[in-house]
Structure 1
Amino acid sequence: MKILLYGINYSPELTGIGKYSGEMARWFAEQGHEVRVVTAPPYYPEWKVRPGFDSRRFMKSTEDGVTVIRCPLYVPAKPSALKRILHLVSFSLSSSLAMLAQLRWKPDLVMLVVPTLFCSPQALLVAKLTGAKSVLHIQDYEVDALFGLGIARGGMLKRFAFAVERTVMRAFDRVTTISSGMLQRARQKGVAPEDLLFFPNWSEVARFRDIDRSPSLLERLDVNLSKRVLLYSGNIGEKQGLETVIEAAERLQHRHDLVFLIVGEGAGKARLLDLVQQKRLDNVVFGPLQPYEDLPSLLASADCHLVIQKRGAADAVLPSKLTNILAVGGNALITADPDTSLGLLCSEHPGIATLVEPESVAALITGIEQALAMPSPNVVATEYARDFLDKDKILKRVLAEV
């Protein structure tokens, strides 16, 4: 089968959507399919194009058996609502040329990974003109996130954006997304149930099994080995609301046995660094994004994993980091309401994680104590990962059903 994957994020990005798109494309190629990817140069979560790539020109290469076409785009150093929109539109415009060039190749399957919906017309056009099946894979509901998190405002603009989103989603042959709550949201947006497919993010479960704490890695990150580690790892952006973590650290300064370790990059990192400096906190340590090969050891070295989101992000975005936390048997503290996908996960699988109210420092501190008291490794988490998050099982099923 000829598979055309289309999306703004792709390997070698190590966090979020790019990681999963890269693993998916490589897996398709390993199964003997011919795979092409139209994407952008890697820039996330640093919001800076990485060395060796160019945001001003097209680049074509073969990576792990996949043909990758990277398109120019605007990458703002300090993303705001307007700059984010210009960023997405710039990729949509430049990638149109690369997508039209695939008409001669005649793919059998065109899969658009969202964000961004700005690329929907190109994906639908190529699929229609070549007779390919069109699939919309939703990693984030970008319209919901924009308005739910207050990044964008406006009654008329909001109604127009949601109307366009509904129209676009219903135009695809299949719509897939990564959680039960996000599937429910797709139904509410008018997608027919028979056109929907559950396509969760996965873990390379075998890589994260039976991993020990790594003193050498913690020392490299300047973490005192005598302390219990409260880890946040991943993107440091708007939808996480990590200011509550800094406030919790301030209230827990008397707990000399605890250290907050924040590992990652993103648009909100500078603000957090300033907050820690202003408050003169010595129980918060920042570390750079770690190589993927070190991720199992990093996760296994934490006593509590902070899976933090703002309330407005619930079921609009889902933290991809959770899959590997569960696979390594980590004890996760999740901030989400009970009726969200993450809340339902905790109620349906008692003991898998600790669930607390989002955007509450008091609830966060209570949850930390509860998570630290949980057995380690977390057998409920590892069994769930084994049964439901294995990459091969998920991708085989989805490819057979789209």
Structure 2
Amino acid sequence: MNILFITDNFPPEVNAPATRTYEHCKKWVELGAEVTVITCAPNFPHGEVYEGYRNKLYDEEQVDGIRVIRVWSYITANEGTISRIIDYLSFALTSFWVGLFQKTDVIIATSPQFFTTWSAFALSKLKRKPWIFELRDLWPESIKAVGAMKDGWLLSLLEKIELFLYRDADLVIPNTPAFKTNLTERGIDPDKIRVIPNGANTDLFGPRPKDKGIVKQLDLENKFLVGYLGTHGMAHGLNFILNAAADIQDENIHFLFIGDGSEKDALVKQAVDLGLENVTFHEPIPKEKVPAYLSVFDISLVPLKKNDTFKTVIPSKIFEAAAMHKPILLGVEGQAEELVKNYKIGLCFEPENKNNFLEKLYILNTQNGLSSDIEKNAKKFIRHFSRENLAEEMLEIVKSTT
């Protein structure tokens, strides 16, 4: 079958949306599907086109059997609501235009941002093909949760469009059961909603010794490393972590932040202002190097801001850390908290509660990450969340629409 997949994030970008889409599409190609991805020039999160790429009207390449078409969009940094909306709308328009000329049996669009789904909706009508809304974030609710948009006519309009698209799609595929609950409570037919959670690529992520070369390079030998690897954005509450780090007297405990995002500069400034010597910031790394850097973590830190919206979110960092048998220190309530507690793969703290965070951190530090129990539990956990198996399951669901 021919699948047309519309997404504004794709490798060489290394954020969670790009990784999930790439790994699913690669598996579908291996299983015999023909997959065309329409995306834009890689630029996340700074709005700067990666070396070797240009923001052209049309460019095409092959990536592991996936036909990748890159189209022009108005590129801006991952900050500022209005400029990002213009960015998203421009991609919706150009992806729609190029999509008109692509042969396909089904169209899939992934959110966030949910303007990609506008393109899929329009293409499905003109091409008379089914379309699938892959739901990875409750947008625009999530941008309201981080304070990027307030209640008003624009938010109300976007929420009305959001519900219309859920109803119109032939299938909605959210990545958490909580998203399905949210949609059904808002009147979406539960029979058209099929959950495919996040997972880990077990070919890439697995237990391994600490990479001593990286530890030496970072000058962090003999440290108990609390690591965060991912986007430094408004939702992640990393400013709270830095404030907590200022209260830690144990010189053995050190925080390592790897990645980039709209809040990175502010976080670096905050660390300087606080005079933190127990924090290291590292630039983003390519996907193939992520396991080596994860290997040096003694604890994998997974925080979000305290907000009811995030109770429905299950960060992909959980799955990669578990596949590496790394204890998780989770600051997310709701679905993610249930997973970590039920499988006993780490400890949970109340988001933005400094005392609770430090208490759980000290437990993991003094008990060496509870490593033996967590290793056993992580093996069981990751068997249920193998990206390869989930990609196969999703392909069968996709086939059911044609």
Deviation track 1:115-173 (CA, whole Å, cap 9, x = no partner) reads 22223233123234434331110112221111111110123333322222111111101
- 1:379-390 equivalent positions in 2, closer than 5 A: 379-390=375-386
Opposite residue 326 of structure 2, the aligned amino acid is G
Would you say 1:360 and 2:353 are equivalent positions? yes
Aligned equivalents of 1:209 and 1:5: distance in 2? 29
**3-state DSSP class of the match of 2:357?**
helix
Identity of paired residues, percent? 23
Equivalent position of 1:7 in the other structure = 7
Number of aligned pairs? Answer: 394
Measure how far apart 1:78 and its partner are.
6.1
Measure how far apart 1:317 and its partner are.
4.5
CA contact (8 A) 1:75 1:87 kept: yes
Equivalent position of 1:34 in the other structure = 34
Aligned equivalents of 2:380 and 2:13: distance in 1? 26
CA contact (8 A) 1:223 1:285 kept: no
**3-state DSSP class of the match of 1:42?**
coil
Aligned equivalents of 2:235 and 2:381: distance in 1? 25
Measure how far apart 1:13 and its partner are.
1.2
- 1:1-400 equivalent positions in 2, closer than 5 A: 1-77=1-77, 79-102=79-102, 105=103, 107-220=104-217, 222-252=218-248, 254-312=249-307, 313-315=309-311, 317-337=313-333, 340-349=334-343, 351-372=344-365, 373=367, 374-376=369-371, 378-400=374-396
**3-state DSSP class of the match of 1:35?**
strand
Opposite residue 261 of structure 1, the aligned amino acid is L
Aligned equivalents of 2:84 and 2:331: distance in 1? 26
CA, structure 1 residues 321+238, in 2 after alignment: closer, same or farther (shift >3 Å)? same
Opposite residue 352 of structure 2, the aligned amino acid is E
CA, structure 1 residues 94+65, in 2 after alignment: closer, same or farther (shift >3 Å)? same
CA contact (8 A) 2:299 2:328 kept: yes
CA, structure 1 residues 394+78, in 2 after alignment: closer, same or farther (shift >3 Å)? closer
> Structure 1 runs of 4+ off > 4 angstroms?
none
Measure how far apart 1:293 and its partner are.
2.5
CA contact (8 A) 2:297 2:326 kept: yes
Structure 1: which 5+ residue stretches go unaligned?
none
**3-state DSSP class of the match of 2:100?**
helix
Aligned equivalents of 2:30 and 2:264: distance in 1? 37
Aligned equivalents of 1:119 and 1:233: distance in 2? 26
Measure how far apart 1:320 and its partner are.
1.7
Aligned equivalents of 1:275 and 1:247: distance in 2? 9
Give the TM-score normalised by the residue count of structure 1.
0.93
Opposite residue 346 of structure 1, the aligned amino acid is V
Measure how far apart 1:292 and its partner are.
2.2
CA, structure 1 residues 386+322, in 2 after alignment: closer, same or farther (shift >3 Å)? closer
Opposite residue 359 of structure 1, the aligned amino acid is E
Deviation track 1:211-253 (CA, whole Å, cap 9, x = no partner) reads 1111111222x2421110010111111110100111111111x
